Amino acid sequence: MLRLENAIIRNGPFNVTANLAIESGHRIAVIGPSGAGKSTLIEGIAGFLPVTQGRILWRDQDMTTAAPGKRPVAMLFQDGNLFPHLTIAENVGLGLRPDLRLNGEQKARVSDALARVDLEGKEARKPAELSGGQQSRAALARVLVQARPLLLLDEPFAALGPALKHAMLDLVTELSAETGATVLMVSHDPADARRITDQIILVDEGVALAPQETGPLLDNPPAALRAYLGGTG
Ligand SMILES: Nc1ncnc2c1ncn2[C@@H]1O[C@H](COP(=O)(O)OP(=O)(O)OP(=O)(O)O)[C@@H](O)[C@H]1O
């Protein structure tokens, strides 16, 4: 279980407060208006932003001040953050060792992850030699090799066309179901939430609410969410 106990996450002059618990193994959409604090919440859990009050606990272990690399977290950003001068295999290998001095077992894990996202044979290419969708899959492979129990996705597939986005979302579902990973995904699209999540954390004006069941919440949204969804929920 991931718990945010009266946590205040600071992002410059902006704060997000959260007092909530997330059961392991759920896939959860983080939804709310632009500027509400969704990315701030995710980056606070990842350790990229400071918690100024309260605590963040994973399986009852306090990780409030742990460095990002010491947390049970893998994070996927919208642009994938691939390094243009490195090959796809090297980019994925970075998920295991920043200095890329991989042993045989680690190289095998990189190959497995690339196969899992249908990129076998593309190991030696640079990101620019792949399509947008293939680049997204490579970024997902880097997250996969890390094999962390908590997967944080910040609008990861927003730049992709609908068919490719659905394929990527379904891949996240498949992989997280296999590994039992807990997934938190920032999304602006309620259809994404319905497609792969069972719960939603609503973030509004710097407050993150406890997870609620996806279907009932979107079927009968409270006023703030209804205004945001614009009747498309
Ligand atoms: N580096 C920063 N310095 C100052 N303010 C910031 C900084 N980054 C974000 N903010 C502010 O913090 C607030 C929350 O930003 P955040 O990115 O968490 O929102 P969001 O809900 O993810 O928005 P969006 O849906 O538009 O991505 C916003 O009002 C934003 O302007």
- Asked which of 95, 112, 147 is the last residue of a domain, the reply is 147
71 pLDDT band, cuts 50/70/90, is very high
Question: What CA–CA distance (Å, rounded) separates 169 from 173?
Answer: 6
What separation in Å is there between the alpha carbon of 13 and the centre of ligand 1? 10
Report the pLDDT value the prediction gives residue 7, as an integer from 0 to 100: 98
Report the pLDDT value the prediction gives residue 231, as an integer from 0 to 100: 56
- Asked which of 147, 163, 196 is the last residue of a domain, the reply is 147
28: closest CA among 207, 151, 174?
151
Q: Are 91 and 44 within one domain?
A: no
Quick count: other Cβ atoms within 10 Å of Cβ 76? 24
Q: Are 128 and 212 within one domain?
A: no
216: closest CA among 192, 199, 191, 195?
199
Q: Are 13 and 56 within one domain?
A: yes
Q: Does the beta carbon of 31 lie inside 6 Å of ligand 1?
A: no
233 pLDDT band, cuts 50/70/90, is very low
- Asked which of 98, 132, 147 is the last residue of a domain, the reply is 147
Q: Are 102 and 166 within one domain?
A: no
Structure ipTM = 0.93
Q: Are 156 and 222 within one domain?
A: yes
Q: Whose CA is nearest to atom 17 of ligand 1?
A: 39
Q: Which amino acid is at 157?
A: F
Pairing of strands 27-31, 51-58: unpaired
Q: Are 139 and 165 within one domain?
A: no
CATH of the domain at 154: 3.40.50.300
- For residue 127, give its domain range: 83-147
Q: Are 12 and 45 within one domain?
A: yes
What separation in Å is there between the alpha carbon of 65 and the centre of ligand 1? 21
Q: Does the beta carbon of 40 lie inside 6 Å of ligand 1?
A: yes
Report the pLDDT value the prediction gives residue 63, as an integer from 0 to 100: 97
What separation in Å is there between the alpha carbon of 99 and the centre of ligand 1? 32
Mutate to test the pocket of ligand 1, among 9, 14, 192 (most ligand atoms within 8 A of CB): 14
Q: Are 56 and 87 within one domain?
A: no
* Number of domains the chain contains: 2
221: closest CA among 195, 194, 183?
194
Mutate to test the pocket of ligand 1, among 9, 38, 186 (most ligand atoms within 8 A of CB): 38
User: Has residue 232 got a pLDDT over 80?
Assistant: no
Report the pLDDT value the prediction gives residue 197, as an integer from 0 to 100: 95
Q: Does the residue 136 lie in any domain?
A: yes
Report the pLDDT value the prediction gives residue 175, as an integer from 0 to 100: 86
97-155 pLDDT, tens digit each: 889 999 999 999 999 999 988 899 999 999 999 988 889 899 999 998 888 999 999 98
Q: Are 63 and 156 within one domain?
A: yes
Q: Are 60 and 164 within one domain?
A: yes
Q: Are 119 and 20 within one domain?
A: no
Question: What CA–CA distance (Å, rounded) separates 4 from 20?
Answer: 5
Q: What is the mean pLDDT of the chain?
A: 92
174-205 pLDDT, tens digit each: 888 988 999 999 998 899 999 999 999 999 99
CA angle 179, 186, 232 (to 5 degrees): 120
Q: Whose CA is nearest to atom 9 of ligand 1?
A: 11
User: Which ligand 1 atom minimizes the distance to the CA of 203?
Assistant: 21
What pTM did the predictor assign? 0.90
